[in-house]
Amino acid sequence: MHESLELRRVLDLEPMGEDTFRGPAMDSDVFARTFGGHIAGQAISAATATVEDDKQVHSLHSYFLRPGVADEDTTYTVTRLKDGRSFSTRRVEAWQGDTLCYSMIASFHHTGDSGPEHANPMPDVPAPETLQVPSSIPSGVPGAERDYREWDIRIASDGPTPNDASTVSGRSLWFKYKYDLPDQDAFHACALTYMSDMTLLFSALAAHPGYKAQLASLDHAVWFFRPVRVNEWLLYHQSSPSAASGRALAQGQIFDASGNLLAFVAQEGLTRELQAGETQVPVRRS
C-alpha cells in the first residue's frame, strides 16, 4: 500500500448497519496495542458519520478502558443522545469482540453562531523550515518513526518556552501531514484527533531526562475552536503541570502557522516506574 493512503485508510470506516462501523486495524510492525490516537480518530469519524453536515465537532471527552490489539479491527457503535437545532451529541463505544476498549462522548455545534473572540498567543519558537527533521520522535515507542512516516514532526523547543509559567515539563513541536487530503473540515478534525495523542504524554517526562516510566493514555479530551488543516504546519505546544502517584496530566495547545489557536487537548496518563525488562509502551516481541 502506498504510504500516502494510510491515514485515509484508517479513517475510512466501513458501515455495518445502523450507527455501527468497522475501523481497520493498524499497519504496524511496532505497536502491540492499538495506538490511542488511532482509536480516538476512528471513534470521532464514526460519530461524525451520524451528524448532519451543518454541524462540526467542537469537543470530545473519552476514556481508554482496556488495551486494544493493534492488528485487530475495531467495531464502533454510536448512540444518538441529542439532536437539537444548535447541538448534537453522540456516545461512541469501541469494541474488539466482547471487549469494550474505549468510550467517547462528542458534541457537535452548528456553524452559524457568532460571539466574542479571544485566544492565547502562540509561543515564540523557531519556524518549522529552520528546524532539522529529527531521526526519532519523542513518543516513548522505539521504532515508531515507521508508523508515523506520513507526518513531518520537528521539535521546536525541548522544555518550557521563555516566559512560560504554565508548566514545569513540556515541549513544543511542529507537525504536518505530508500528502494531499480531502478539503473537508470534518475529515481534518478526525485527522487532528488521531495526531493529538501522538507524543503528548511523553511531554510529562521532559523534566525528568532518562527516567523510564510505563506510559499509557487513561483519558483524552479535545476542544476544537477553529477549522484546521493537518497538511499545513501546526504547532503543538505541550505541557505537563503536574505528575504524581504514577500518573501525569498533559495538555496541549495547537496553533496554525499564523498564530491562531485551533484546538486544546488534555490527557491524564499512566507514568508508573518501569519494571526491569519492560518497555515504556508495549511493543511487538521479535
Contact between residue 215 and residue 201 where contact means Cβ atoms under 8 Å apart: yes
Helix H, strand E, coil C: the string for the chain is CCHHHHHHHHHCCEEEECCEEEECCCCCCCECECCHHHHHHHHHHHHHCCCCCCEEEEEEEEEECCCCECCCCEEEEEEEEEECCCEEEEEEEEEECCEEEEEEEEEEEECCCCCCCCCCCCCCCCCHHHCCCCCCCCCCCCCCCCCCCCEEEEEEECCCCCCCCCCCEEEEEEEEECCCCCCCHHHHHHHHHHHHCCCCHHHHHCCCCCCCEEEEECEEEEEECCCCCCCCCEEEEEEEEEEECCEEEEEEEEEECCCCEEEEEEEEEEEEECCCCCCCCCECCC
Give the active site residue among 45, 107, 157, 197: 197
Share of the chain above pLDDT 90, in %: 72
The answer, yes or no, to whether residue 286 has pLDDT greater than 80, is no
| Measured CA angle at 51 (ends 45, 52), to 5 deg | 130
Q: What is the mean pLDDT of the chain?
A: 90
| Measured CA angle at 98 (ends 92, 102), to 5 deg | 30
Residue type, 137: I
Dump pLDDT digits (tens) for 69-125.
999 999 999 999 999 999 999 999 999 999 999 999 999 999 889 999 999 999 999
Dump pLDDT digits (tens) for 22-40.
999 998 878 888 999 999 9
Q: What pLDDT, on a 0 to 100 scale, did the predictor assign at position 4?
A: 44
What are the boundaries of each domain within the chain?
Answer: 3-111+128-273
Half-sphere exposure of 262 (CA within 13 A, CB side): 22
Dump pLDDT digits (tens) for 112-166.
899 999 999 999 999 999 998 877 766 556 666 777 889 999 999 876 555 555 5
Confidence of residue 13 (pLDDT cuts 50, 70, 90): very high
Give the active site residue among 217, 239, 253, 280: 217
Q: What pLDDT, on a 0 to 100 scale, did the predictor assign at position 139?
A: 59
Residue 136 is a catalytic residue: no
The answer, yes or no, to whether residue 42 has pLDDT greater than 80, is yes
More confident residue, 159 or 180: 180
Confidence of residue 237 (pLDDT cuts 50, 70, 90): very high
Give the active site residue among 238, 253, 267, 280: 267
Name 154's bridge partners: 174
On whether the 3-111+128-273 domain is CATH 2.40.160.210, my answer is yes
Residue 197 is a catalytic residue: yes
- Grid cell at residue 136: 526519532
Q: What pLDDT, on a 0 to 100 scale, did the predictor assign at position 165?
A: 52
Residue 185 is a catalytic residue: no
Contact between residue 196 and residue 44 where contact means Cβ atoms under 8 Å apart: no
Residue type, 171: R
pTM as predicted: 0.92
